[in-house]
Amino acid sequence: MPGTEAILAEKGFLDYAIDPGMDLFAEIERLKKEKNAIILAHYYQDADIQDIADYIGDSLGLSQEAAKTGADVIVFAGVHFMAETAKILSPQKKVLLPDLKAGCSLADTCPPDQFKVFKEQHPGHTVIMYVNSTAEIKAMSDIVCTSTNAVAIVESLPKDEKIIFGPDKNLGRYVAKKTGRDLVLWDGACMVHEIFSREKIVKLKNRYPQAKLIAHPECEEPILKEADYIGSTTGLLKYTISSPDNEFIVATESGILHQMQKASPHKTFIPAPPDNNCACNDCPHMKRNTLEKLYLCMEYEQPKILLPEALMDQARKPIERMLEISAQKGL
């Protein structure tokens, strides 16, 4: 019988059998109370996970929650770099991730050894790193940002400051355009936001002429050019709530449609189609988490995030700088 470590290394979670008659929602609520645990869920999680979470948000909101929670255990329903960020901000707490293999294609595009060389090729540059990056990359950065605060963070620096922006080139290009700054971009991208089909979106716009196209800045430029509104996941959600329009084509991961529909039940939300045979665009990493895995990780307190102290100390500085600037700007 393989041990816990071997199962986690192979599967990413403890695949113990669960009684199919078990009320998972009730069991997870019980475990939350018993262990003084809080569930933080990203907007791209399955609807069931969003519904049982204590806090649902995008990367900035989740980091802010992780920094201030009084819970003993943080259960992070998201991907690995997000749980790492929570651990870095609350090193004394136990941080659990339902599936250790819930990674991120964007974070993977920026390996630390290659980024070290890139930095050396651009001496005298301040490194602004999108939160979708590993702890090692954050530790090599000056300020972390999210899509909510990236423009404000770049603008908080003097106009003549030389800046490297990574790892997402699409977000970097968008921020450069918005701020008028000349950013040195790392050549990374998210597999989910890169595969929207402009052609299919244009056809959808013709079919739903009243619909507004709203897009995340991780999308490629041709999609952003078509968009009526560009914003972070939270920005898109807020826009659909305050807008007088009733139909929206949504170009980001389709998990956010659950909150949009809940907030505005009378409005219509159409997921923007990717350039394949699917009708909507799911992140395969985010969707590795399930209610069953959430229950198992809380019951057995595994898998948990473990990081070396020195790495956490180094990576915390740029994250805290982001949180300070965000607080100053009221974000």
Residues making contact with ligand SF4 (CB under 6 A): 79, 104-106, 132, 190-192, 253, 283, 285-286
Give min distance, CB of 83 to ligand SF4, in A.
Answer: 12
User: Which 3-state string (H, E, C) describes 51-72?
Assistant: HHCCEEECHHHHHHHHHHCCCC
CB nearer ligand SF4, residue 272 or residue 286: 286
Rounded to a whole number of angstroms, the minimum distance from the CB of residue 190 to ligand SF4 is 3
- 131 labeled binding residue: yes
CB atoms within 10 A of CB 88: 28
Q: Which residue type occupies 204?
A: L
Please check if 105 is assigned to a binding site.
Answer: no
Please, which residue, 132 or 148, has the CB nearer to ligand SF4?
A: 132
Q: Which is nearer to ligand SF4, 219 or 270 (CB)?
A: 219
- The CB-of-29 to ligand SF4 minimum distance in angstroms stands at 27
Nearest approach in angstroms of CB 302 to ligand SF4 is 22
109 is in an annotated binding site: no
Does 42 carry a binding-site annotation? yes
Identity of the residue, 83 or 325, whose beta carbon is nearer to ligand SF4 in the bound complex = 83
Please answer whether residues 53 and 41 qualify as being in contact, where contact means their C-beta atoms are separated by less than 8 angstroms: yes
Is 141 annotated as contributing to ligand binding?
no
Rounded to whole angstroms, the Cα distance separating 203 from 198 reads 9
What distances in angstroms separate CA 153 from CA 62, 268, 305, one per listed residue? 18, 34, 28
For the CB of residue 189, give the shortest distance to ligand SF4 in the complex, in Å.
9
Report the nearest approach of ligand SF4 to the CB of residue 180 (Å). Answer: 26
Nearer to ligand SF4, 79 or 154 (CB): 79
Sign of the torsion formed by the C-alpha atoms of 147, 327, 102 and 10: positive
**180: alpha, beta or left, given left = phi > 0 and alpha = psi -120 to 50?**
left
Residue 283, marked binder: yes
Residue 71 or 115 with smaller CB distance to ligand SF4: 115
Known binding residues for [4Fe-4S] cluster:
104, 190, 283
* Residue positions forming the annotated binding site for iminosuccinate: 42, 59, 130-132, 147, 216-218, 233
